[in-house]
């Protein structure tokens, strides 16, 4: 039986889970939860996930939410080997660190821009908020220096997670021209089989939605 994925394409974390499923090769049955229509607050969804966030999965009765937990679960449970999420303690710790970086720094700084614009009607972004998003991109640029991958010397699930967020940041108008490692890596991530299938449509929608609420080039450095 396929894994049910409760998903909303415009949501970056939700696209992380879908991209992880596609890259790992997990059979998923996607059920759309329209956040703009408040479907995540309906009783039947809150019963499954009291935190009412997408992505959430139901793997034949095993319920899990948070994109990072879902992505690593997919590799551990369904991966053909452990290369996307190594079992060796130090390699795994590095991947975890980058996933926590994605959650605690990249995503959170992107959300500081997006949430007030999409949900509170704000039509401008303070310089300090913008600067902290660029600082996060700068950290990523450094992480990519040694090998061109986010954690260790090969593609891992942390690349998938960070690439969904980086492409989302770019789509909403942050300018990556000063970050050559990141630009090159994003292009390589787009070629990972399954990545674009999971990300492309939603990232375009997301970018258009955010940009439509802001003045032109508002997020340029
Ligand atoms: N850390 C979580 C964040 C999930 C999250 O906040 N999802 C948002 C959409 S981008 C959501 O479902 N918001 C609805 C809500 O919080 O009620 C993850 O990585 O999955």
**Boundaries of every domain in the chain:** 3-78, 89-212
- pLDDT tier at 218, thresholds 50, 70, 90: very high
Ligand 1 pocket test target in 53, 103, 107 with most atoms within 8 Å of CB: 53
Mean pLDDT, all residues of the chain: 98
The per-residue pLDDT for 12 is: 98
- Alpha-helical segments (H) within the chain: 12-24, 43-48, 67-78, 89-101, 107-119, 127-143, 157-171, 180-190, 195-212
- pLDDT tier at 46, thresholds 50, 70, 90: very high
What's the pTM? Answer: 0.98
Average pLDDT over residues 39-53: 98
Q: Which CATH number fits domain 3-78: 3.40.30.10, 2.40.30.30, 3.30.70.380, 3.30.450.20?
A: 3.40.30.10
Determine contact, residues 45/21, Cβ cutoff 8 Å: no
Determine contact, residues 64/73, Cβ cutoff 8 Å: yes
Instruction: Name the residue at shortest CA distance from atom 16 of ligand 1.
Output: 53
Average pLDDT over residues 33-57: 97
The per-residue pLDDT for 41 is: 98
Average pLDDT over residues 175-196: 98
- pLDDT tier at 40, thresholds 50, 70, 90: very high
Ligand 1 pocket test target in 36, 54, 162, 164 with most atoms within 8 Å of CB: 54
- pLDDT tier at 85, thresholds 50, 70, 90: very high
Q: Radius of gyration (Cα) for the chain, nearest Å?
A: 17
DSSP state letters, 60-96: TTEEEESHHHHHHHHHHHH-SSSTTS--SHHHHHHHH
Which residues, including other chains, have CB under 8 Å from residue 133's CB and lie 6 or more apart? 109, 110, 112, 113, 169, 174, 219
Paired sense of beta strands 3-7 and 28-32, if any: parallel
Which residues, including other chains, have CB under 8 Å from residue 48's CB and lie 6 or more apart? 6, 56, 58, 63
- pLDDT tier at 144, thresholds 50, 70, 90: very high
> How many C-alpha atoms does 101 have within 13 Å on its Cβ side?
25
Average pLDDT over residues 45-65: 98
The per-residue pLDDT for 83 is: 97
Annotation: CATH topology of 89-212: Glutathione S-transferase Yfyf (Class Pi); Chain A, domain 2 (1.20.1050)
Average pLDDT over residues 14-42: 97
Q: What is d(CA 138, CA 212) in angstroms, rounded to the nearest whole number?
A: 26
The per-residue pLDDT for 51 is: 98
Q: Which atom of ligand 1 is nearest to the CA of 8?
A: 9
The per-residue pLDDT for 18 is: 98
Average pLDDT over residues 84-89: 98
Pair of tokens at residue 105: 């720094």
The per-residue pLDDT for 141 is: 98
The per-residue pLDDT for 154 is: 98
Distance 41 CA to ligand 1 centre (A): 12
The reply to whether ligand 1 has any atom less than 6 angstroms from the CB of 52 is yes
Task: Give residue for tokens 């499923």.
Answer: 21
Determine contact, residues 170/137, Cβ cutoff 8 Å: no
């Amino acid at each position: 039986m396929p894994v049910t994925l409760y998903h909303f394409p415009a949501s970056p974390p939700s696209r992380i889970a879908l991209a992880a499923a596609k890259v790992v090769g997990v059979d998923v049955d996607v059920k759309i939860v329209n956040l703009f229509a408040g479907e995540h607050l309906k009783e039947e969804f809150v019963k499954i996930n009291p935190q009412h966030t997408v992505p959430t999965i139901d793997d034949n009765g095993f319920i899990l939410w948070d994109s990072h937990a879902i992505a690593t679960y997919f590799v551990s449970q369904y991966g053909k080997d452990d290369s996307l999420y190594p079992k060796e303690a130090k390699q795994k710790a590095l991947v975890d660190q980058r996933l926590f970086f994605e959650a605690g720094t990249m995503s959170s700084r992107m959300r500081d821009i997006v949430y007030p614009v999409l949900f509170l009607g704000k039509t401008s972004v303070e310089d300090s908020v913008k600067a902290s998003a660029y600082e996060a991109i700068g950290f990523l640029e450094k992480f990519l220096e040694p090998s061109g991958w986010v954690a260790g010397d090969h593609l891992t699930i942390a690349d998938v997670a960070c690439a969904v967020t980086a492409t989302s940041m770019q789509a909403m108008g942050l300018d990556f021209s000063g970050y050559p490692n990141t630009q090159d890596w994003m292009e390589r991530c787009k070629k990972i089989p399954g990545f674009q299938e999971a990300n492309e449509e939603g990232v375009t929608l997301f970018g258009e939605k955010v940009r439509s609420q802001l003045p032109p080039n508002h997020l340029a450095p």
